[in-house]
Amino acid sequence: MNIAVASGKGGTGKTFLSTNLFNVLQKSFKDVAYYDCDVEEPNGHLFIKPENINEEVISVEIPEVDSSKCIKCGKCGELCQYNAITLIASKIYVFEDLCHSCGGCNLVCPVGAISNVKHRVGTIQSGELANAKFYSGCLDVGKILTVPIIKQLTKYFHKNSEYINIIDAPPGTSCPVVASVSSVDYVLLVTEPTKFGLNDLSLIVKMLKKFDVPYSVVLNRSGLGKNSLIEDFCKEENIPIDLKIPFSREISTVYSSGGLFSDSSENFKTDLLNLFETIQERLA
């Protein structure tokens, strides 16, 4: 079972929910795994603290041009929709971070002047604790290609198909989010009772309507603003609100110290187990 935890914007409590949900499930069930797909700012490890960490380098293939063979026809640049390879003043330039590794430039080159080379974009750290697994992607500083790292993470949660997989998705509604949630079984949308929260919730709901995946809402910081902002929207869109997490100094104190609130509160632990049971019932 693959459960993604997503949000239309950063800072709503997505990592708070995903790490605590993982914590409760891995202490209650066998074969649970956590995946931090927020590869630009991964921080799940600060709360989960896995052991026996291994690191895997993630690379993509980019074109390399043999200038001794190149006839400066410019066909490679004409094909590339991302301007990753282009002919400028009788010289071919390759812009590594724009390349999407489609291989099209290799195919259209009439003289075989283009080959592929490996270009590192980031890493995946994997670890374990008790009966659980941990995976976290991390984009290299200065790189922008997040999707190849996320795609490798999705291979791991498909490989661990017998596990309960908790996927901490990137914030927003762009390509990294699509890569994270497009093949999961269920999505939990974390939001907050503010106008910003409502706006970004509406955006990610529009995105999820394109996929055949069920979803529901967790309202974090309940009572901070007007709960009715989210409640009215969810009622209109027929989206269940499965959990309301109160705006609490106690929660903030535990979270800011790197702790898991589900270890401190039996009520919250019960709420998360009930949430998981609700998801199971919907999927059944």
DSSP of 150-187, one letter per residue? HHHHHHHHHHTTTSEEEEEEEESSSHHHHHHHTT-SEE
97 has a pLDDT exceeding 90: no
In a domain, 241, yes or no: yes
Mark whether 75 and 106 lie in a shared domain: yes
Residue 119 lies in a domain: no
Assigned domain for 117 exists: no
pLDDT > 70: percent of the chain: 100
When the pLDDT of each residue in the chain is averaged and rounded to a whole number, the result is: 94
- Asked if residue 95 and residue 11 are part of one domain, the reply reads no
Do 116 and 103 contact (CB within 8 A), yes or no?
yes
CA distance 87 to 100: 18
Same domain, yes or no, for 90 and 219?
no
Q: Check whether residue 76 and residue 162 sit in a common domain.
A: no
Q: Between the CA of residue 236 and those of 188, 193, 230, 231, 251, what are the distances in Å?
A: 18, 16, 10, 9, 30
* Calpha distance 130→158 (Å, rounded): 21
**What per-residue confidence (pLDDT) applies to 190?**
97
Return d(Cα 60, Cα 166) in angstroms, integer.
Answer: 26
Are 6 and 26 members of one domain?
yes
Together in a domain, 52 and 72: no
For range 104-113, the mean pLDDT: 94
pLDDT digits (tens, 9 = 90+) for 38-81: 999 999 999 999 999 999 999 999 999 999 999 999 999 999 99
Q: Is residue 10 part of a domain?
A: yes
Q: Are 193 and 227 in contact (CB under 8 A)?
A: yes
- Nearest to residue 36, comparing CAs of 107, 117, 125, 113? 125
Q: How many domains does the chain have?
A: 2
Q: For 182-230, how does the pLDDT look when each residue is reduced to its tens digit (9 = 90+)?
A: 889 999 999 999 999 999 999 999 999 998 899 999 999 998 888 999 9
Q: In this predicted structure, what is the pLDDT of residue 279?
A: 97
2-20 pLDDT, tens digit each? 999 999 888 899 999 999 9
In this prediction, residue 69 carries a pLDDT of: 94
pLDDT of residue 182: 87
- Tell me which residue range forms the domain holding 76: 67-112
The bridge status of strand 241-246 relative to strand 2-7 is unpaired
Contacts of 20 (CB under 8 A, 6+ apart): 260, 261, 262, 268, 272
155 and 221 part of one domain = yes
Dihedral, CA atoms, 57, 61, 65, 66, nearest 10 degrees? 70
CA dihedral 260, 261, 263, 269 (to 10 degrees): -120
Average of per-residue pLDDT across 249-263: 94
CA 195 to chain centre: 24
Helix (H, G, I), strand (E, B) or coil at 112: coil
> Which CATH number fits the domain that encloses residue 258?
3.40.50.300
Is 121 part of a structural domain of the chain? no
Are 102 and 127 spatial neighbours (Cβ–Cβ below 8 Å)? no
Residue 273, helix vs strand vs coil: helix
**Whole-number pLDDT of residue 263:** 94
CA-to-CA dists, residue 66 to 42, 75, 106, angstroms = 38, 15, 12
Cα–Cα distance between 106 and 76 in angstroms, integer? 8
Q: Is 88 exposed, middle or buried (0-12, 13-18, 19+ CB in 10 A)?
A: exposed
Q: Examine the pLDDT at 232 and tell me if it is beyond 90.
A: yes
Predicted local distance difference test score (pLDDT) of residue 224 = 87
Q: Is residue 261 part of a domain?
A: yes
pLDDT at residue 131 above 90?
no
Look at residue 260 and tell me whether its pLDDT is greater than 90.
Answer: yes
Both 104 and 137 in one domain: the answer is: no
- Radius of gyration over every alpha carbon of the chain, rounded to an integer in angstroms: 22
pLDDT of residue 275: 98
Say if residue 30's pLDDT is above 90. no
Residue 267 has pLDDT above 90, yes or no: yes
pLDDT greater than 90 at residue 90: no
